Structure 1
């Protein structure tokens, strides 16, 4: 004889229990409260992680778009740009371009101000066309840096401190390349014309000045084939470890962006992990509510469990029924929370603007940066479901231990 319930029977009974009204309204309230608790935790976790991803991606695009991802240099500080000992750098994994460069610490002096800068000698013709500096030039062009013209491109923060604009003259003095004269030690210096300004919206705007590679070699009194290092652009700066594990000839060294900016990104990653941990605790508290609600449901359903046992259902079948009952609340809460979290994330900036709370836009930004990673959403969703599933184990095992004779004694 066929039953009117779909199979398997344990799933059908568990879902029927989940959808039925309970005689104890307090149990129903606790169950509903736990479901919404999981939904709120999942939604909050998706929103916060997506915003943190956005800030991390913004830092990676702006700061790591200007400073070198990886540099091949020499222990002595200088390298031959066309050295036959160098491996084929552009064939290494994740490397999209390579170009020689020189860097040095220096001072810039305008008619009224003086400031320190990090000077980079570059060859614009060998820079990738999709480099961030090409798209973030506020005035002038990067390819205006031609050897012998003595032009300089400044970050907008440096230009603001010096109170200069395109076309103004500044004096560049380098700490390297000094020479001794009857008047003492004189730094290498030269008048440069400001030919461009860039602004990526990060602190590098206050630190970087770019000049032609040939002009930097002349100031430092270096031969044309000698440079400070070979700069590599990666498709993902966080893949630097896969590049620097390649062996280099004796005397050559790998240097990557983590030497200068590693602590900043470690702090951002740590903050993201701590925020995620705090929000996971919200989900964990909600799953404990599922556990307490299921314990009360087991007490409420002892008579029915006893009847099922007398009809021949095994202990494992009883366990599966209550696992389905508890996991259904967790799955419903996780799915609802994921949908709500994605909706809030994608509409976060319009919502904050409508409420007058978007302080990031009021400060001059274009809105909170948001990057939704599908793998993270799936991980959050799966984690919430697993926590809910784990919370059902004890109540389900307790239900399986119900003794039919004792439960039905006074029925």
Structure 2
């Protein structure tokens, strides 16, 4: 059946009911309240998820920009890579660059301080030019790590603890390269000159020191062709599963960032899911309001439904009328909440500054990090609409079961 406006009859009647003033103002209030509830829930969910995405992206960029994404190692502590292995790994999906590296633990000593560090031996010539460390150098440069010069680049936390700056000298002590002497076992040690300081704003600033790969091998007394492993840079650190799923030549093994930092990112992901779940409950409560309001509307419209049934309207058409009526609140609420949520998300830092609540910026940050993912926005809006539709099912089927003879008996 069609109306004069070429709309399906159920849609036309449902929208007319939604736009008309109801005789029962309490029902109108509940309907309006449910629309506002869905809008508030959608907006809050979008803002919180976007901020959590921002924090996750910040951690991903700062921490995973310094520690290796993936390392190919051998069965032992050291590896003599085949000549063509690095070139073959560079052709695999998601791999941006491949370079040899050497990792060990040691101590750094300045004239007045001593601190433990994680030492990485690197080859600056094969280090990607767009890597985070090149962008986050506070002083000096990574290219100063020339073979045989015994220079070192420190995280700003280490430099602060040792009270050193570019040009100062520190003593690097490595127990792994120790040797036996008449006086006992003596650790490998060497004076290094600080030629660079980096700062990424994460705990790695207090942990990592970089030296040239050849200098590290000399200090550890390793053969020239032996390295700790081949380091792989990925275009997305979270694509590590796809990389490590591919086979390697016999005797070689994958190691990835999850070995050291997996628990941190799992905790962040869990927190994001729990916050999302709590805010989804706000939307769920609003959909219950739709259900209660629609039940009262069905009771109020029994006479009209009975007349429509006597005129030949089917039960399925009656169901669609009340589904349109109930879902209209969810659709309007989801659209309004989505628009408000996007406005709040993109204007969050200026808004917090205006009301004096930007504590993150006051603590030295650059404002709350925000990342809006279109797929998440679409899922939130679609989920709100589907919850609204689900809330209309019971009242709509109840309306379809109205018996015309009983409803019109006293009309």
Tell me the secondary structure at the aligned position of residue 226 of structure 1. Answer: coil
Report the aligned-residue RMSD.
Answer: 1.2
Q: Specify the alignment match of 2:58 in structure 1.
A: 58
Counterpart in 2 of 1:79? 79
1:162 match: 162
For residue 88 of structure 1, give the secondary structure of its aligned residue in structure 2: helix
TM-aligned CA distance change 1:359 to 1:86, over 3 Å = closer
CA distance in 1, matches of 2:85, 2:241: 21
Alignment of 1:211-230 (within 5 A): 211-230=211-230
Cα contact 1:104–1:175 (8 A) shared by 2: no
Q: Distance in 2 between matches of 1:194 and 1:157?
A: 14
- The 8 Å contact of residues 322 and 395 in structure 1, kept in 2 or not, is answered as yes
Could you tell me how far 1:346 is from its partner in structure 2? 0.2
What is the number of residues matched between the two proteins?
411
Question: How do residues 188-337 of structure 1 correspond to structure 2 at under 5 angstroms?
Answer: 188-337=188-337
Provide, for residues 151-180 of structure 1, a one-character-per-residue CA deviation record: whole Å limited to 9, x for no partner. 000000000110111111100001211100
- CA distance in 2 between counterparts of 1:183 and 1:125 reads 40
Residue 366 of structure 1: aligned partner:
366
Conserved 8 A contact 1:87-1:248: no
Asked if structure 2 preserves the Cα contact closer than 8 Å seen for 1:177 and 1:187, the reply is yes
Q: Runs of 5+ in structure 1 lacking a partner?
A: none
Cα contact 2:86–2:99 (8 A) shared by 1: no
Q: In the alignment, is the contact (CA less than 8 A) between 2:138 and 2:198 conserved in 1?
A: yes
Task: Give the unaligned 5+ runs of structure 2.
Answer: none
Moved more, 105-114 or 77-86: 77-86
Task: Name the counterpart of 2:100.
Answer: 100
Output the CA distance in 2 between the equivalents of 1:2 and 1:264.
Answer: 59
Structure 2 CA distance for aligned equivalents of residues 409 and 18 of structure 1: 27
Q: Is the 8 A contact 2:86 2:98 kept in 1?
A: no
The corresponding residue for 1:138 is 138
2: CA distance between counterparts of 1:177 and 1:260?
A: 24
| Counterpart contact for 2:2–2:9, Cα < 8 Å | no
CA contact (8 A) 2:104 2:120 kept: yes
1:76 aligned counterpart, secondary structure: coil
Q: Output the TM-score relative to the length of structure 2.
A: 0.98
Distance (Å, rounded) in 2 between the aligned partners of 1:4 and 1:295:
29
Counterpart secondary structure, 1:174: strand
> Cα–Cα, structure 1 residues 349 and 3, in superposed 2: closer, same or farther, change >3 Å?
closer
Cα contact 2:86–2:230 (8 A) shared by 1: no
Matches within 5 A, 1:100-119: 100-119=100-119
1:30 and 2:30 correspond: yes
Structure 1: 4+ residue segments shifted above 6 A: none
- Alignment partners' CA distance in 1, 2:86 and 2:126: 18
What TM-score results when the alignment is normalised by the length of structure 1? 0.98
Q: How far apart are the structure 2 equivalents of 1:163 and 1:266?
A: 35
Q: Counterparts of 1:86 and 1:137 in 2: how far apart (Å)?
A: 27
Look up the match of 1:401: 401
Alignment of 1:176 with 2:176, yes or no, is: yes
